[in-house]
Structure 1
Amino acid sequence: MKYVVITFGSLIILVSALPLIETGTWWIRIFDFPRVQIAVLCLLAMALAFYFLRKENRWFQTVFMVLLVASLFYHVSKIISFTPLVAPTAKKATDEGQKFSLLVSNVLMENQDFEKLKNLIASRDPDLILLTEPNLLWTRALIELDERYPHTIKEPLNNTYGMILLSKFPLKNGKVNYLVENNIPSIFAQVQLPNGGQFDFFGVHPEPPKPGSDTYERDTELLIVGKKIKEDPGPVLVAGDLNDVGWSKTSTLFREYSQLVDPREGRGFFNTYSVYLPLLRYPLDHVFYSNDFGLVRIEKLEPIGSDHFPMWVELSFEPDSTEAEEVDNTDAEENAEVEEKVEKGNEESQESSN
């Protein structure tokens, strides 16, 4: 049994150390996701080692336990910001008279239970809706919503990367961008609020890490959006299925670089994927925004037939707030890192398209 314990613990130490490598290789970056699960396995491995390795060489036992403890603390340090043990970075709303709501939902292209989503929209009545993965069939099924949402940007695709933005509010300068890859779109628009306020909206859905697909392009798309925000600062909201977790280095770098907050910090994980695997759920659907907004409510909603849970966020537009709680700013080294990652991602995208 002791060899089983040693093997098990060694694997936990290995998968804990792999994400420390600076690379976009998919089989390494995929271990950014299960921090909670690996932390639990670290605890299990420690308990087994304490019981079954008591008679082993004292030096080996000490080193083995130290590595497991270090692995546990490493994972906890990544995820603790998404628990009530730390203070939220996103401020609470102080003027709900300026609030609006946003529904973010990955519809799952193969899912044809259109009525579940339409019923959810009817019951919740959001002001803005961002849908990822819609194809032409989904677009046609939701055409009736255009009456309630007269301002739209639609880019249906059959490759699971289609996007739809529906809005009750006017949209200025709306456009579909292909920032990195020519088959993966993103959406930009300036949202005009009824009270005269305006903010930039970015809808994104980059490619996930998977066999044959590394994360260079995913990271590059997010950081390009970050550069646009930094070059033109102002009220901004970024939403979508990022196929990344909020505690990853790329997500953290993006938020620090663009000075956006994550409303989940200090409040909870809000794991949206996968509906079908309760023990393997991660927060892949995100809403980040500048400190010009106050949080009214954030929720994970009931499933709609997709493999993702929808996300619901209510915000209040408060650009004149004096209680700013900004994330730490980036230094010159991090700025250089952003440029390096963008350049690397563009190179990888060009090579894969040739």
Structure 2
Amino acid sequence: MFEALGAVTLFLVLATCLPLLPIGHWSVRGFDFPRLQFAAIATLLLILQAYFLSFAGIAPWLMVTATLGCLLWQLWWVLPYTPVWRKEVHSCQSQDSDNSLSILVSNVLMTNRNSKALLALIHEHNPDVVITLESDQWWQDQLDVLLTQRPHSINCPLDNLYGMHVYSRLAIENSEIRYLVEDDVPSIHGDLVLRSGNKVRVHFLHPAPPSPTENSHSTPRDAELLVVARRVAEQSIPTLITGDLNDVAWSRTTRLFRKVSGLLDPRIGRGLFNTFHADYPLVRWPLDHLFHSRHFTLNEIRPLPNIGSDHFPLYASLTFSPQQGRQQQGINADAQDKQQAQEIAAQKPVTKEDVL
């Protein structure tokens, strides 16, 4: 039993330490994702160690100390996404329909053909804006029924898992489809006009992940996220970013993105709101995100039921309330953070001027 507990402890230490290395390969970056699962393993391992180890020598104490250290480190990343933490985004104090904004973002899974399930959710929750990812021409043909109530659309049907569509009842000005880092991976940008006339700069993103079947390294994903973050940091206008970022909320890249952009995460202090993987309850994490500037407060955010995709749709409702939002504070970037973001973005032929 000592050898078995030692082997699991060694694995846990490696899984905890590997993401600290400045290596972008998917085999390393993949350990960013299951931090909650690693915390659960560490908790169970501590119980087993306390029950089976004799603690007659130094080795058992070293094992327990290493396991406890791993547990605390994993919790440091995950606990902010639980109700025990202070909320980063305030709950809206008053309803203002003219300044409200509701969004449903869904990675539909291109091969999924259950469009009726998504349309039923859209009908039930009636969001102002619908964003679909991995949507091809077939999905566009099914979703165009939304045009009767959401006449403002941006279409980018692709059959490579990176198609994107936007359907909005609110006008979208200056809309652009950009291929910031990779020639076949689009992003959508524009200015959303609220009923009050206030404008919101929106960025809808779906960068390619580091994986054995996609990019072997995380550089394209990281570069896209951080070049958008650097552009947002230059602008003091109301801003919202959403999409499947193919990164978890608690990774170093997403944390750096939040620091540099200055955007807020409404999940902090509320919950994980896991959106992937819809088919495996024990292996889930938040891949679909929504970040916004301090101009907004939160009405609601939650994942919606499965539509046959490997992602759950994510629904959020915000209110443009800059007076109340002025009291909100995210995490700040120092000079080292800004330099790191610039260096990562510079690894690809893209600049912040390429972003709207």
Shared topology, TM-score over 0.5?
yes
Q: Distance in 1 between matches of 2:128 and 2:325?
A: 26
2:156 corresponds to which residue? 155
Residue identity matched to 2:89: A
How many angstroms does 1:322 deviate by?
6.2
Secondary structure, aligned partner of 1:321: helix
1:30 corresponds to which residue? 30
> Does structure 2 retain, via aligned residues, the 8 Å contact 1:82–1:266?
yes
2:142 corresponds to which residue? 141
Root-mean-square deviation (CA, aligned residues, Å) is 1.4
Matched, 1:271 2:270: no
How many angstroms does 1:323 deviate by?
4.2
How many angstroms does 1:52 deviate by?
2.9
Secondary structure, aligned partner of 2:324: coil
Task: Sort the Cα spacing of 1:14 and 1:102 in 2 relative to 1 into closer, same or farther, 3 A.
Answer: same
Residue identity matched to 2:307: I
Report Cα offsets for 1:77-124 as digits up to 9, x if no partner. Answer: 000100111110011112311212100111110001111111111121
1:352 corresponds to which residue? none
1:86 corresponds to which residue? 85
> Does structure 2 retain, via aligned residues, the 8 Å contact 1:191–1:201?
yes
1:132 corresponds to which residue? 133
Residue identity matched to 2:147: D
Unaligned runs of 5+ in 2: 351-356
2:259 corresponds to which residue? 256
Q: Distance in 1 between matches of 2:240 and 2:146?
A: 23
> Does structure 2 retain, via aligned residues, the 8 Å contact 1:24–1:215?
yes
Q: Distance in 2 between matches of 1:345 and 1:326?
A: 31
How many angstroms does 1:346 deviate by?
4.6
How many angstroms does 1:55 deviate by?
5.7
How many angstroms does 1:265 deviate by?
0.5
How many angstroms does 1:62 deviate by?
1.8
Q: Distance in 1 between matches of 2:333 and 2:2?
A: 46
Aligned residue runs from structure 1 range 1-354, under 5 A: 1-54=1-54, 58-97=57-96, 98-211=99-212, 213-321=216-324, 323-346=326-349
2:353 corresponds to which residue? none
Deviates more, 1:22-31 or 1:210-219: 210-219
TM value normalised by structure 2:
0.94
Secondary structure, aligned partner of 1:129: strand
Count, aligned residues: 346
> Does structure 2 retain, via aligned residues, the 8 Å contact 1:295–1:315?
yes
Task: Sort the Cα spacing of 1:61 and 1:234 in 2 relative to 1 into closer, same or farther, 3 A.
Answer: same
Secondary structure, aligned partner of 2:346: helix
1:350 corresponds to which residue? none
Report Cα offsets for 1:181-206 as digits up to 9, x if no partner. Answer: 11100000100111011010000011
Report Cα offsets for 1:302-351 as digits up to 9, x if no partner. Answer: 1111111111101001123364212132111111010111123459xxxx
Q: Which runs of 4+ in 1 moved over 4 A?
A: none
Residue identity matched to 2:59: F
Residue identity matched to 1:94: Q
Secondary structure, aligned partner of 1:157: coil
Give percent identity, aligned residues only.
36
Residue identity matched to 2:323: D
> Does structure 2 retain, via aligned residues, the 8 Å contact 1:236–1:290?
yes
Unaligned runs of 5+ in 1: 348-354
Q: Distance in 2 between matches of 1:37 and 1:331?
A: 31
2:354 corresponds to which residue? none
Residue identity matched to 1:173: N
> Does structure 1 retain, via aligned residues, the 8 Å contact 2:135–2:163?
yes
How many angstroms does 1:64 deviate by?
1.7
TM value normalised by structure 1:
0.95
Q: Distance in 2 between matches of 1:107 and 1:268?
A: 23
Task: Sort the Cα spacing of 1:223 and 1:99 in 2 relative to 1 into closer, same or farther, 3 A.
Answer: same
Report Cα offsets for 1:11-40 as digits up to 9, x if no partner. Answer: 111111111111211111101010110011
> Does structure 1 retain, via aligned residues, the 8 Å contact 2:109–2:310?
yes
